[in-house]
Amino acid sequence: MANAPLTPAVLHILLALSTGERHGYGIMKQVQLDSGGRAKMGPGTLYGSMGRMMESGLIRESDRRVDPGLDDERRVYYELTGAGRAALEAELERYRSVVAVAEGRLAHG
């Protein structure tokens, strides 16, 4: 999957997890923050995407909890796998290439 373009939901989830483990609600809030409120991800989209991402090896459930004493112990935290980080890096490189082409055309247009 590292070579295939990512859906916007998958890209946002990978970005949200790129700086550390998060639980589902934390991922939704980070997506909203990262997108300046433009991308809103409900539970259906989030957990549907995350299920497929776990099946394809992009993310996994974390064994750790941020602070079990302060957090709800039922919360499941997720983290990127090596394949997930590689897929994110490949997607960001794809975006950089598109931006470079667009900037070149706009500069000469």
Q: Return the pLDDT at 96.
A: 95
Q: Return the pLDDT at 2.
A: 45
Structural domain includes residue 93:
yes
State the total domains in the chain: 1
Domain that holds residue 22: 8-108
Structural domain includes residue 36:
yes
Structural domain includes residue 35:
yes
Structural domain includes residue 48:
yes
For 41-71, give the DSSP string: --HHHHHHHHHHHHHTTSEEE-S--S-TTTS
- Half-sphere exposure at residue 93, Cβ-oriented, CA atoms within 13 angstroms: 9
Q: Return the pLDDT at 57.
A: 97
- What is d(CA 4, CA 30) in angstroms, rounded to the nearest whole number? 24
pTM: 0.85
Amino acid at 47: Y
Structural domain includes residue 2:
no
Arithmetic mean of pLDDT, 40-63 = 94
- For the segment 69-89, what is each residue's pLDDT rounded down to a tens digit? 656 667 889 999 999 999 999
Structural domain includes residue 1:
no
Q: In CATH, what number is assigned to the domain containing residue 39? A: 1.10.10.10
Structural domain includes residue 3:
no
